[in-house]
Structure 1
Amino acid sequence: MVEEFSVGTIPTRQEYRVRPIEAADELRREELASAIAAVATNQGLSCTDCIHISDGAAYSGDGIRLSYSFPARNTILFRVDANSTGLFFGSSGVEKADALRRSLKATLSKRFQGLEYIETLKP
Structure 2
Amino acid sequence: MLRTLSVVCSLPFLASLAVLMVNDLILKAAFPGWITGKLSDVAGIAMVGMLSTALAPSRRFLRFTAIGMGFLWWKSPASSPFIEWVNAQHWVEFGRVVDYTDLVALAILPWCDRLAREKTAEPMSWPLWRRLLAVPATGLTLLGLVGTSAIPTRQTYEIRDVSSSEAMRREDVVAAILAVAAKHSLACRQACDRPTEEQRLEGRGMWLIYRFVGPKAVSIEVSAFPGAIFVGSSGFQRADAVRQDIRAEFAARFKGLEYAEPLSPPR
Whether the TM-score (by the shorter chain) exceeds 0.5 is yes
Inter-partner Cα distance in structure 2 for 1:56 and 1:101: 18
* Alignment of 1:93 onto 2:235: yes
* SS of structure 1 residue aligned to 2:236: helix
- The residue aligned with 2:193 is 51
Corresponding pairs, count: 122
State which drifts further: 45-54 or 101-110: 45-54
Q: Does structure 2 conserve the Cα–Cα contact (< 8 Å) formed by 1:62 and 1:85?
A: no
Deviation at 1:25, TM superposition (A): 3.2
The one of 80, 86, 105 equivalent to 2:222 is 80
Deviation at 1:103, TM superposition (A): 0.3
Q: Does structure 2 conserve the Cα–Cα contact (< 8 Å) formed by 1:23 and 1:74?
A: no
Inter-partner Cα distance in structure 1 for 2:229 and 2:151: 10
List, as ranges, runs of 4+ consecutive aligned residues in structure 1 with deviation greater than 3 Å: none
Letter in 2 for 1:33: V
* Alignment of 1:28 onto 2:169: yes
- The residue aligned with 2:258 is 116
- The residue aligned with 1:104 is 246
Q: Can you list the C-alpha shifts for 1:44-103, whole angstroms capped at 9, x where unaligned? A: 111112211010111111111101001222110001111122414201110011000000
* SS of structure 1 residue aligned to 2:223: strand
* SS of structure 2 residue aligned to 1:116: strand
Q: Does structure 2 conserve the Cα–Cα contact (< 8 Å) formed by 1:66 and 1:78?
A: yes
Q: Can you list the C-alpha shifts for 1:94-122, whole angstroms capped at 9, x where unaligned? A: 00110000000000110111111000111
Deviation at 1:24, TM superposition (A): 1.7
Inter-partner Cα distance in structure 1 for 2:223 and 2:159: 18
* Greater Rg by CA: 2
* SS of structure 2 residue aligned to 1:106: helix
- The residue aligned with 2:180 is 39
Higher relative contact order (CA closer than 8 Å, sequence separation 6+)? 1
Structure 2: which 5+ runs fail to align?
1-27, 38-146
Task: Normalising by structure 1, report the TM-score.
Answer: 0.89
- The residue aligned with 1:12 is 153
Letter in 1 for 2:151: I
Inter-partner Cα distance in structure 1 for 2:163 and 2:228: 43
CA 51–20 in structure 1, closer or farther in 2 if over 3 Å, else same = same
User: Which is helix-richer, 1 or 2?
Assistant: 2
State which drifts further: 17-26 or 102-111: 17-26
User: Which is strand-richer, 1 or 2?
Assistant: 1
Inter-partner Cα distance in structure 1 for 2:223 and 2:171: 24
* SS of structure 2 residue aligned to 1:72: coil
Letter in 2 for 1:72: G
* SS of structure 2 residue aligned to 1:9: coil
Query: Could you tell me the percent identity over the aligned residues?
Result: 36
Deviation at 1:13, TM superposition (A): 0.9
Inter-partner Cα distance in structure 1 for 2:163 and 2:255: 11
Structure 1: which 5+ runs fail to align?
none
- The residue aligned with 1:60 is 202
